[in-house]
Structure 1
Amino acid sequence: MKVLSVNQFYGLNGGSDRCFHDWNRVLVEHGHKFVPFAMRADNDFPSEYSDFFVSNVKFFDGKKSLWDSLKIASRILYFVEARDKITKLMGLTKPDIAHLHIIYHQLSPSILPAIKRFGIPIVHTLHDYKRICPTYHLAAHDQVCERCKKHKYYQAVLQRCNRGSLTASLLNCVEMYIHKWLRIYEKNVDIFISPSHFLKNKMLEFGFKPKRFEVVPNFIVLDGYEPKYEADDYFVHFGRLVRVKGLMTLMEAMSRLKSKNLQLYIIGRGYMRSEMEAYCSQKGLDNVKFLGWKSGDELKELVRNSLFTIMPSEWYENYPLSVLESLAMGKPVIASNIGGMPEMIIDGVDGLVCKPGDPEDIAEKIDHLFANRHRLPEMGRAARLKMEKEYTPEKYYSRVMELYQSLLS
């Protein structure tokens, strides 16, 4: 089978890119071929098809001329270059099926009718809420936001949801109304895949009506995540340091801990670091360490040697890889009862579910795990076993290939 594999980037910039590349590797391991299509970027992996990738654009790299702004607007609404290049690529490679990941803005849905003209089915994995939210994350001004429910996309303009910019928010609003009016996604995509039941249900609740909607949880390649059940006296939060991740609530929880000998390692970068450090200084919290950005084996070792990890998000996380990675390394997870995360944790077995935005509850859950740290190896083994049973490449391959075959037959 030959799969046209489409994503905004062909390098690694985030969790959705990891899912895209991991799936391509799984296809190859099972004897299939994939043909990539993306936007050109400096960190692209090599590809024999890179000449077909569309030109690069940076949406937020300083003040732009009126002409540049108009070009960006037309690219977001209907990108002619993407349509023409994917048409040439498909004419050359003749794929059997198309599997899309994130395509808005860098590529635009102009590619959907172009793919359909070749008579092949389209599968689209959703990594965020773009189909129902102009700015894709169902959050505005660092809080969960559902004002656009039932297609009230004008709320993005009223709230200036896109980085406080009236112009950018207006463009996102217009984009949503045009694509809704054209029904360009609903007409052309045969199956939407959601990693979580939460995302699927939220999309349906907002009035999104696809032909077919399936839930297939993400996977990770377990060979790269060796479990470890012994630990030092610290726990970890790793990810972007932004407010919706619940980090100030976590800082407040740290000030309420009874377990004074327990340390928290904050791994990542973002605009919240200075505020968090100021809070720790003000409260005299010397049990919070900021380690900055870590990746690869260095990050894995920090997680593997921890007691547990914590994800106290206060917005609708979809199906974060950070949770899967923690579980794969045999680490219980404290995760907020919000978004798709409760689907990933068996409360009391391989982690604990906490109340988002509630520092007292979070402190209680942290104290509970530390006081009962003799149980953490047992919880870690349960986490790893679940990953080995439910979140393997083979499991994902079986589920997605079944969807492919249902369309091709």
Structure 2
Amino acid sequence: MKILNINKFYYLKGGADRHYFDLTKLLEKHGHKVIPFSMYSDKNNPSPYAQYFVNEVDLSRPKFSFKALATLGRIFYSLEAKRKIRALIQKEKPEIAHIHNIYHQISPSILGVLKKHRIPIVITVNDYKLICPNYQLFQHNKVCEKCRKRKYYQCFFNKCVKDSYLASLVNTLEMYFHKAFRFYERYVDIFICPSKFMRQKLMEWGLPQAKLVTLPYFIEEEYCTPLEEKNYILFFGRLSPEKGLDLLISVMQKLPEIKLKIVGEGPERKKLEDYVQKNHISNVQFLGFRQGDELKKIIQKSRFVVVPSSWQEVFGLVVLESFNLGKVVLASRKGGLTEIIREGNTGFFFQNAAELAQKIQSLYQNRKITQKIGQRAKREIKNYNPEVYYQKLMKIYQFVFPSSLRAEFNGAKQSPR
């Protein structure tokens, strides 16, 4: 089968992109031809289809200019993306489109083209962009649902995007435009939600229940030589406001005998480093971006991993990555995290700063407990097996296929839910 796999980034930027590339490998392993469609960037992985990628646009620093006005139209409805995906479809004739993140850089302009060519559309919902202008249901360090009942103007009044009225206005108008034309609601056949929490949230905000399916992410099981644990705990991931690092660092300030290593990059790094330096917090160390075997060794040598998210996590791939290397996870009781971690069996939850401090101390002082629970967490990985994911995904693909093609996938139409 020819599968058009679409994501705005063609390099590893975050968890959604990791899933995008992992899915490509999984589909190719099973003999499918995967055709990428993305945005050009100097950071991109090589691709024979790069000529079809849309031109790069940088939205990291919102400011008013004539160039910004041209970019604005592309965010709402990209004619370039529409033109280029049409050319790619005509060349490759894909049988299904699997979309990940397309907002801003690609836009939903491609959806109508796919439907015109009778290509079924499946979207993996990696964040809350379908219902929230800033895609997080989180602003100014707290969970926020002020935009319910299409009150997207709240995004502008509360400066929910980059703490900027201009950026927030653009996202507000974009949201109203996309909802007015119902691009996603009309054209998408199935929305794949990585957690039950995400599915429930989308239902609450009005997306059609019949199109919502729950399918957690998958991870390839690791078989690593055990490494001796060192005396530190670990955070790894994107350094952004919703990840709760300000809370974690403030707690570590009161636990000087325990060392915290922070792996990752993001917009909050300088602010956090300045805070650590200003307050002379000597037990917090920033390691920057690490990946591959180097990152795995850092995780393996840690005592346990902390996931202090302030927002309602869609899923929590970092938890699976920790489990995979036999590590206990101490996490906030937020969103999809509650579906992965089993309290006292594979990890622990906290609900406030005092409880976080108490559990960090307790776990750090009980190495035997963390090692025992870490072994249980490792066994939990079998529930997120790639082959199980693949079989369930094929049922979803089968469900959205026209009846004339469904015979290739064991014929009978059945609900993926």
Question: TM-score normalized by structure 2?
Answer: 0.91
Instruction: Trace 1:63-102 onto structure 2 (pairs within 5 A).
Output: 63=63, 65-66=65-66, 68-102=67-101
Shift of 1:363: 1.1
Shift of 1:230: 4.7
AA matched with 2:44: D
Match in the other structure for 2:355: 361
Contact kept in structure 1, 2:305 and 2:322, CA below 8 Å? yes
d(CA) in 2 for partners of 1:123 and 1:49?
A: 21
Instruction: Trace 1:7-406 onto structure 2 (pairs within 5 A).
Output: 7-61=7-61, 63=63, 65-66=65-66, 68-209=67-208, 211-223=210-222, 226=224, 228=226, 230-257=228-255, 261-270=257-266, 272-273=268-269, 276-277=272-273, 280=276, 285-355=281-351, 358-387=352-381, 389-406=382-399
Shift of 1:261: 4.2
State how many pairs are aligned: 402
Q: Deviations over 1:256-295 (max 9, x none)?
A: 44xx643221223345455545655676644333333322
AA matched with 1:238: F
CA separation of 1:279 and 1:17: change in aligned 2, threshold 3 A: closer
AA matched with 1:290: F
The percent identity for this pair of structures is 43
Contact kept in structure 2, 1:7 and 1:102, CA below 8 Å? yes
Specify the SS of the correspondent of 1:323. Answer: helix
AA matched with 1:14: G
d(CA) in 2 for partners of 1:88 and 1:360?
A: 57
d(CA) in 2 for partners of 1:128 and 1:345?
A: 20
AA matched with 2:113: A
Q: Deviations over 1:75-115 (max 9, x none)?
A: 11111111111111111111111100001111110100100
Q: Deviations over 1:32-62 (max 9, x none)?
A: 1111111111122222222111111112357
Shift of 1:372: 2.4
Contact kept in structure 2, 1:7 and 1:103, CA below 8 Å? yes
Unaligned ranges ≥5, structure 1: none
AA matched with 1:253: V
CA separation of 1:286 and 1:160: change in aligned 2, threshold 3 A: closer
AA matched with 2:249: M
Contact kept in structure 1, 2:62 and 2:167, CA below 8 Å? no
CA separation of 1:31 and 1:271: change in aligned 2, threshold 3 A: closer
Q: Deviations over 1:326-377 (max 9, x none)?
A: 111100000100121111101101110111xx21100111122123221222
d(CA) in 2 for partners of 1:271 and 1:403?
A: 37
AA matched with 1:262: I
Question: TM-score normalized by structure 1?
Answer: 0.92
Query: What value does the CA root-mean-square deviation take over the aligned residues?
Result: 2.0
d(CA) in 1 for partners of 2:309 and 2:11?
A: 27
d(CA) in 2 for partners of 1:25 and 1:267?
A: 26
Q: Deviations over 1:98-154 (max 9, x none)?
A: 100001111110100100111121100011000011111112223221110121101
CA separation of 1:283 and 1:78: change in aligned 2, threshold 3 A: closer
AA matched with 1:10: Y
d(CA) in 2 for partners of 1:310 and 1:299?
A: 15
Q: Deviations over 1:156-208 (max 9, x none)?
A: 11112222322322221111112112111011111000111111111222223
AA matched with 2:27: L
Shift of 1:302: 1.0
